[in-house]
Each structure stands twice: as structure tokens, then as C-alpha cells.
Amino acid sequence: GLAATAVRRPLPRVSGRLKLPGLAEPVQVLRDRWGVPHIYAASARDLFMAQGYVHAQDRLWQMELQRRTGHGRLAELFGEIALDTDRFVRVMGFARVARREIGTLGDEARQQVEAYVAGVNAYIEQNRKRLPIEFTILRARPELWQPIDVVVWGKMMAQNLARGWITEALRAQLVAAVGPERAAALEPEYLAGHPLTLPRGMRYSRDLAAGALRVAGATSRFIGSGELGQGSNAWVVGGARSASGKPLLANDPHLMLQMPSVWYENHLSGGDYHVTGVSLPGTPGVVIGHNERIAWGITNGENDVQDLFVERFDPADPARYQFRGEWLAAEIVREEIVVKGRAAPHVEEVRITRHGPIISALMPADGSQPPSASGGAPADGQPAANEQLALRWTALEPGQTLDAALMLNRARDWAEFRAALARWTSPTLNFVYADVAGHFGYAFAGHMPLRAQGDGRLPSPGWTGEHEWTGLIPADELPRALDPAEGFVVTANNRIIGDDYPYPMPSEYLPGYRAARITQLIEQTERHDARSFGRIQGDQRSLPGLELAALAGRLPAETPL
């Protein structure tokens, strides 16, 4: 009986009346038979305050876990097992970036975030004695929320969708083991005639970034793996291919399976927001869905927006690093991590160069020094022991993704849709689009760096200044298509541009089998409806599996793929 009471006590009230201090007008929350809340408010401020309250009703522990992850404060609750995750997050500096990003929010986005936070805090204040059972088990109490807690989780979502630096480090280890020519031959779907070119003056060791890679792997129990279960699909057909004569859009984003889900379905109506779809608990608005005029879906762009730079530090002063013949002062940030069961906090001193944080600081837990970046004396004789890896990443710079998402919720046509995406920073995403006027299309969103030299596939020397980022691909020139002649658009983490695209877009695209299969199924049906789209989403035919079976002689050569 006590156990049942402890579990049932924090369940949200879904009927009757509740007082929410700060509301200007009454708000109505109707939950349908699936438990999805439909929130109706007179103003946008009241709407987002209510959304924050409802999110907290259903997902407060999930939200607490997420914000602690983003701030690197898990070890306070879980002890040593979470220390590596906290160290990884503190070195990356997600909270430091989020704190700066708060200052870049537009007035409207700031107001909606503050309203959302007020709703979350109202729930916490009213339910101090009815908190989710996880708080009881861990003897924890949630602190009141701040706007930075909203922004920092967006950085963690970018982390979940970006793995460029890891593949870059592994690629360098492969080059060290077998040489650049054989490493290029082992690249999956590597383009013919594109060798792996080592940046001038660079040599790599087989254990390059070993400590950082180990710690990144250890974080998967809390942050999740960037690989497992991922491979999103999205497609849209125009009116000529739909039974209704209007565009039809589908999306199934494959983020890591977890309980509760990373998504939270809700319907929001208030002020100039009339939107429904899935949201992220801890964040206002809708991420994927539709309003009264447009619909949109997303897949991960798989783009390389992370570069590793080898920095040379002064042997006499580890706070100075070399750049274009001069010694520059690195920023030093002291991060204190409280660890449950320890008398004193763990101290992580983070060095930050012009290229980003030094991830070599993520050394093994025994305190031994990490291996050097190149694993041997460089060409100019500088001691290799003073070389460390810095990470440059678009997500570690303040952006306006939250502004863009809220603008997207209110967009009414293609022009407003693209105006919203022009402010999208990170992660890079493929968007499919449809509207009630009959238009459909595709647009890429996110900051894509332009490199002075090279493609960022291998760690570059940070001291020369030859491999700097020189800017971004202009938002107006990012890939897009409105009402393409094919009558449909498919994106499934596959390559999205051809060789004729005027800007380099290094990416770690996934094989195009899923996109090819979706295309097959679209073309096999003359007029699509929700049922035919459901069959596409449930399709289990594996094109690579059939190819493998044919190669193994288990299928006749004429078997259709």
C-alpha cells in the first residue's frame, strides 16, 4: 500500500481547477483519450506558462535529469558513475555557451522562455510534497528553473546528433595504423579520387584522443549514443501524387529509444500560436508538427560541423599556445564538480583556445597524462608533449536556434518558413515542408563552416592558421527546393547535394538505401493517402540485406530489390 501510494501520489491532476499565479486570463487544458494535452490560452505568455506547468506535471524528473546533464551536475545525485559524463560536459562547456546565448535571444523568444520557466516553477512550488518518486528515492529536491536550463538542453540535443570529432579522431588513428592510402580505401562509400590528405606538418599516433574517446564512450549511459537507433526518415509528396490533391507529409525521427520518450506530444493554441506536434520537455513550443498553414518534418543532416585542431603549448607556460608565430593566452576555466560520497569536489581546469576547449584534458581516470596529438616530434622540432587537441564546433558558439524554432511554430508560408530556418544554428537538419496552398519542398538549416583549407576529415595544425574557419555558407544559398518536378522529396540521412553545389559541405552521410527504398515505395503508388504512408513507415524490406544475399548466391540474380 505504501509503495502504491508513493507511485500514485505525484500523478498529475487532469480534471478540475488549479490556480497558476501569474496568468493574465484563465487557460484550458483538455487531455484527450491518449493523454495528449490540448492547451488553449488567450495570449502567448499564458500559453507557454501553461505548457511549462503541464510539462512539469508529466515529466519533471526527466526535465531534472536533462538539465543536470546539460550543466554537468549528475554526479551530485549518482556519484562516481556519473563523473565522466560531468567532466565531458564541463569541458565542452555547454552551460558556458548557453549562458552567453541567453543574451542573444530576441525579445519575443526571451518572453516565451521566461513564461515557460515560470510555469515549471509554479508546479515545483505547488508540489514540493508530491514530487515524482525518483526525487524521493534519491533524496533530492529540484531547484527552481532558470532560462539557461531551457537553452542548455538544446546544446545536448546537438551533442546527440553530432559525432564529427569522434570519426575524425578515429580516422586519424586509422591513418596512423595503416597509412592514408589504405585508410582512404577503407572509408565507407568513399568517393573515388578523393584521397585522405594529411595536413602539412602532421603525423598521428594510434592512441590519438584516446582519453577523450574513452570518456565520450562512458557518457552514453546518460547522454546516449550518437549511433544506436538513429536513422530518421522524412518525405513529402505534392498534390499530384496524393489522393486528396494536397501535399502529404510524413516523418519518423529515430532518436534513442528511452522511457519516457524524448518527445512529448501537445497542442498549443494562444496568441498567434496555433500549433500541434511533438515538443521536448524542458523547452517551449513544438519541434516537429504543423500549424494552421504549414507542416514540417526533420532528419539529421549528418554534416561535419566539428573540427579538431592540434594546439602547441609553451613548455614553460601551459596557459600559452602558439598561433601564426605568436604566443596567445588560453582562457582557463575552473570547473568544480560535486561528487556524491566525496568530501571535496572534483576540479577540472579547462583550457580554451581560439579554436575551442582542449578535449585532451579528458585524460584517463588514473590521472596519467594523455598521449600527444601527433605521437612524435613535429617537423619543426617542437616537443610533441606540448601538443593538445582543441575542438571547434558550431554548437559551442551562441546561436538563435530557439528563436528560429518559435518563428517556425508561427510561420504561414514558404517565405516565413525559410526566414525562420535562416536563424537556425545547430544541429544541422533537413526539413521537409508542406502548406495548405499546395506547395511542398525541402530546406537545409544550420550553420555550415567554410574552411580556408582542407575538408576537416582529419585533425589540423592549429598553430599555422592555414585551416581556419573563414565564415559560413550564406543562409540564402543553403540547399533548398520548392515544388520539385519529381513530385516528392525524400530525406533519410543520405547525401543531399551533388558535385555541382558551389560550396563544400563535408558530411558523414549514411548509406542511401533507406532513401532509395522510400523512393521506390512512393513511385509504386499513383496516389498516396495516410494508409499508404503508414505502409511505407512500416516497411521492413532491406535493400542492403537483399544485395548481400544476392552476392552470397542465396537469391536469384533477377530478384527485384
- Positions annotated as catalytic residues are 232
Residues 6+ apart with CB under 8 A from 335: 72, 90, 91, 347, 348, 349, 350
Q: Per the structure block, which three cell numbers stand in for 124?
A: 515545483
Amino acid at residue number 312:
R
How many C-alpha atoms does 77 have within 13 Å on its Cβ side? 22
DSSP annotation of 369 reads P
Residues 6+ apart with CB under 8 A from 30: 37, 38, 40
The b/e string for 534-543 (b: 16+ C-beta within 10 A; e otherwise) is eebeeeeeee
Let me know: does 59 contact 263? Beta carbons within 8 Å: no
**57: helix, coil or strand?**
helix
Let me know: does 502 contact 451? Beta carbons within 8 Å: no
| Burial degree of 381 (CB within 10 A; 0-12, 13-18, 19+) | exposed
Amino acid at residue number 337:
I
Q: Per the structure block, which three cell numbers stand in for 418?
A: 525559410
**348: helix, coil or strand?**
strand
What is the CB neighbour count within 10 angstroms for residue 557? Answer: 6
How many degrees, rounded to 5, is the angle at CA 145 between CA 142 and CA 146?
A: 150
Q: Per the structure block, which three cell numbers stand in for 111?
A: 518572453
Residues 6+ apart with CB under 8 A from 175: 183, 196, 198, 204, 458
DSSP annotation of 115 reads H
Cis peptide before 284 (omega within 30 of 0): no
Let me know: does 541 contact 513? Beta carbons within 8 Å: no
> Residue with C-alpha cell 577523450?
212
- Which strands, in side-by-side order, build the sheet including 488-491? 248-252, 233-237, 488-491
Distance in angstroms (rounded) separating the CA atoms of residues 171 and 192: 17
Distance in angstroms (rounded) separating the CA atoms of residues 378 and 43: 62
Distance in angstroms (rounded) separating the CA atoms of residues 506 and 523: 30
Let me know: does 311 contact 463? Beta carbons within 8 Å: yes
The b/e string for 56-84 (b: 16+ C-beta within 10 A; e otherwise) is bbbbbbbbbbbbbbbbbbbbbbbeeebbb
